[in-house]
Amino acid sequence: MNAPLRIAGIETRHFVLPLSHPMTDATHGVHTEFEVVAVCLESDCGRSGIGYTYTIGRGGAAIRSLIQRDIKTLLLGADASRIEQIWERMWRCLHYVGRGGLVAFAMSAVDTALWDLLARSQGQPLWKLLGGYSGQARAYAGGIDLQLGPDELVEQTRCNLAAGFRAIKIKVGRDKLSEDIARLRAVRDFLGPDLPLMVDANMRWTTEQAIRAARSFRDYDVYWLEEPTIPDDYAGLRRIAREGGLPIAAGENLRTIYEFRHTLEAGIAFAEPDVSNIGGITNWLRVARLAYAHNLPVTSHGVHELHLQLLAAIPNPSLLEVHSFGLERFIKNPPQLKDGIMRAGDEPGHGVQFEWDKLREFEVKGG
């Protein structure tokens, strides 16, 4: 019998990272920076695991505090290989102040570190440990680009195709629907009929507005319409899916498998759990299995370095989102794209190795 993999140490670090240029969407406005909260777990036998979550500029200090002040005491001395047990313990001890929100972000970082530690201790890449289905994922360029006009979008798309992408997503949700239509038309005309083109409204519309927009977009062979309205409006999602005539993707703002159950039953076509905010890999896999039971594929939101491992592991993957909140500048050997495909590799763990020296100038001390 193998000895328990006891957790002996926990370190949490908080960084505020600048974006390469300002970016916009319909709900959050202009983005200029994002936060990363990283967790390093040390076992009693000297092995380590890294996990992290991110925000779009606010909340990182609170997430770090939750981990250091409340979750840390639940972890020290625990057997790191009993991940389901640890997940349930975190959830039950913190649900009264959470059931989502900051708690889900904090749990995501810790849970990811646990899976990384387990995979490293077994000498396996995470995607093989989790199922080992394909070892790769089809990637798309997820623009955060509501500010761009048609010509600028075409130029951005040209650059993305040159970089190896074979699927594109743009933001929609301008004040005038005619402007969204013009932007979408320009990109579809440039792409031609064969490459997937998605649009993302970031919860911008009411149900009626979303139905009207969806109907207006149908002539442009939209692969999916993402987050057309608030995630809590299951009846509205059902109407948009039924009356709008486009496949719906949703889930980046859901925090529990129970919310996903209602969303899938509302008729969405693509489940979109985010490993950085749904409670980590443990809960992400639950959603993937739930989607499988509904005969539906799973896509991703953000942190493509981690989601690559997850989509490469499961039998029902859709496209992997890659956008400008990536960590390529701050990690060793970031995943490479070739002809629309990213491969997960065979390095033990999830493969994300931070270059701490490059991150140091952006670290938030204290807290």
* Positions marked active-site: 171, 301
- Copy the structure tokens of residue 11: 């370190």
3-state SS assignment for residue 333:
coil
Contact 187, 170 (CB under 8 A): yes
Q: How far is CA 283 from the centre of its chain?
A: 13
Residues 79, 116 contacting (CB under 8 angstroms): no
Distances in Å between the Cα of 54 and the Cα atoms of 28, 34, 59, 252 are: 15, 7, 9, 13
User: What distance in Å separates the CA atoms of residue 32 and residue 59, rounded to the nearest whole number?
Assistant: 15
The residues that bridge with 235 in the sheet, in sequence order, are none
Q: CB under 8 Å to 58, separation ≥6 — which residues?
A: 35
CA distances from 286 to 78, 201, 280, 293 (A): 23, 26, 10, 11
Please name every residue paired with 192 in a beta bridge, in sequence order, or none if there are none: none
Number of H helices, E strands in the chain: 13, 14
Tokens of 364: 């938030």
Residue 251 CB-density burial (10 A; 0-12 exposed, 13-18 middle, 19+ buried): buried
Q: Which residues contact residue 257 at a Cβ distance below 8 angstroms, ignoring those fewer than 6 apart?
A: 283, 286, 287, 290
Cβ proximity of 185 and 158 under 8 Å: no
Distance of alpha carbon 325 from the chain centroid: 10
Provide DSSP, 264-315. HHTT-SEE---TTTTTSHHHHHHHHHHHHHTT--B---S-HHHHHHHHTTSS
